Amino acid sequence: MIITRNSDIKLDRNRDHLKYYTMLFIAFLQGYFKQNDQGQFRWSPDLEQTELVICDQDADLTDKYLPRIVTVRGPSSPLPMWFGDEGESHNSATGAKKRTILIQSSITFHCIAVTGLEAQQLAYRVYRAIHEYYMTLQRFGIHKVIRSMQISPETPANAIFSPEVISEGRLIMVTVPFIYRNTIVSTPSNYAAARELSLHMQTSMTTPNTREETTVKEEVPIIASHPGVPFTQPNAKEELQDPEFRNTRQ
């Protein structure tokens, strides 16, 4: 059981790649802690029986469920490299091509516990799980798990929860960078869906009353036909060479 606000949505690794990899790490940690002995952060799908809650940040759980691991995905950015820049043929009828890119991202595990020692122990278990089973993660679409993980310092008491609810609450974050592959399909501009999109954009860029296409008037610089100030060459026959400058423009 993966606790998220929309856990019933079917995942597609290429269409919903951000959510897919977030839920992949959740399932990974749940499976890892499920194998633990009783009293050693053993995970169970039953919230009333589990010793550890592993969920997404939007799980809407109350503060009573501790300890817990909350996943938060970091920023994602494409790497400047492509697999097959020319593209593989995807649909010969439309001319669509398939390309694969590498995207670098990160996942942060917020290890929250009542005491600082328990939060540190939990953070180390997460760190060790990634190191021991990174090749298993890479079998599910992750191109590379970068094992230069970072473990944050412990937060002070009462920085996570309200003292009226829980008198203590400590947080340690474990950040794991990773690279994954994402395949996209490039649609030609003459394809039906692309033409419909182009028509919508053209219609949207018109004035509401006249429905005439909105254009941006380009300012053309005015260049004089005879730039500069014309002058008359001095008379070489005269003994005194005195150039005569005069402006012939009216």
Closest to 113 measured CA to CA, from 160, 180, 179, 147: 160
Residue 177: phi, psi to the nearest 5? Answer: -80, 150
Per-residue pLDDT of the chain (250 residues; tens, 9 = 90+): 454 444 445 566 767 788 889 999 999 999 999 998 888 899 999 888 899 999 888 766 666 778 889 999 999 998 887 665 455 555 565 666 777 888 999 999 999 988 889 999 999 999 999 999 999 999 988 889 988 899 999 887 666 655 444 556 788 999 999 998 888 777 666 667 777 888 888 888 875 655 555 444 444 444 444 545 554 555 555 555 454 545 555 5
CATH code matching the domain that covers 17-186, chosen among 3.40.50.2000, 3.30.70.1700, 3.30.360.10, 3.10.129.10: 3.30.70.1700
Q: Where are the domains of the chain?
A: 17-186
CB atoms within 10 A of CB 226: 8
User: Could you tell me if 168 and 157 are in contact, meaning their C-beta atoms sit under 8 angstroms apart?
Assistant: yes
Pairing of strands 68-73, 53-56: parallel
Residue 208 identity: P
Rounded-to-integer distance, Cα 180 and Cα 104, Å = 7
Residue 183 near residue 14, CB atoms below 8 Å: yes
- Residue 156 to residue 195: CA distance in whole angstroms: 57
